Structure 1
């Protein structure tokens, strides 16, 4: 989590990781929006990709939070590969929802702290086949992903890195 007043020197890996993290939010918006709809668009798989992009590039100082959010994504991916895609999607939602909650403290986007609850509700609606409810929750969640994506891209890249000396390794 960044300190915007501190500008650490960034190497090529820092630039790539910040861009991947931000692109993960961009990809999450349409992927989540299309989850409850029958389409040729591989929405669930792209939700996994979005979560993995964010999880692989987290810039959170506190190691336990960073590892929890990354672990949820990786366990979810393993579950999906083992034939439990809904459990896997839950892991991706934990990662994406947790990161939206974190981003609320940076951007104060109204509704963003509710993103984990929206994604939990969406997961249950999808699991239970309640498609009208899932469609509403997916639209709200996608809108929040879209808003936070715009907010992230409007700020300089170094804001995501912050003070490198504060990271718990």
Structure 2
């Protein structure tokens, strides 16, 4: 998480990683919205790509939180590769929901701290085949992803990096 008053010297990899992270939120919105109507799993794959984009480019100072959010996505991808797509989707939701919770402290978007609960409810609704409930939760979650992605793109790129000396490596 960044300190907006600090403008670090950024190289091209910093710019690339910030853009990939932000594009992950952009992709999360339509992929989550499409999940309840998905019959062939492309929306799940898009959710994985969104989570991978965010997890691979995290700018969080504390290593334990950074590794936890990254491990959820990579563990979920492993589950999906071995045929447990729904468990894998849960791993992607842990990462995306956790990052929305983190972003609440930057943007104070109402409802954003509840995004992990919306995604958990969506996961259970999909697992139990309760499609009307899944459609409502997917719409709420997608709207929150859209709002946070717009908020992220409106701020300068260096806000995502902050003070490089604070990162635990």
Give the structure-1-normalised TM-score: 0.98
**Separation in 1, partners of 2:56, 2:27:** 15
Root-mean-square deviation (Å): 0.9
**Separation in 2, partners of 1:51, 1:5:** 28
The question of 1:98 aligning with 2:98 is answered: yes
Q: Secondary structure at the match of 2:36?
A: coil
Paired residue for 1:77? Answer: 77
Q: Find runs of 4+ consecutive structure 1 residues off by over 6 angstroms.
A: none
Mapping of 1:1-12 within 5 angstroms? 1-12=1-12
Paired residue for 1:19? Answer: 19
Paired residue for 1:61? Answer: 61
**Separation in 1, partners of 2:47, 2:54:** 11
**Separation in 2, partners of 1:121, 1:146:** 19
- Structure 2 residues without counterparts, runs of 5 or longer: none
**Separation in 2, partners of 1:22, 1:10:** 16
Q: Secondary structure at the match of 1:35?
A: helix
CA deviation map 1:92-134 (0-9, x unaligned): 0000000000000000000000000000000000000000000
Report how many aligned residue pairs link the two structures.
Answer: 169
How far off is 1:21 after superposition? 0.2
How far off is 1:136 after superposition? 0.1
**Separation in 1, partners of 2:30, 2:83:** 24
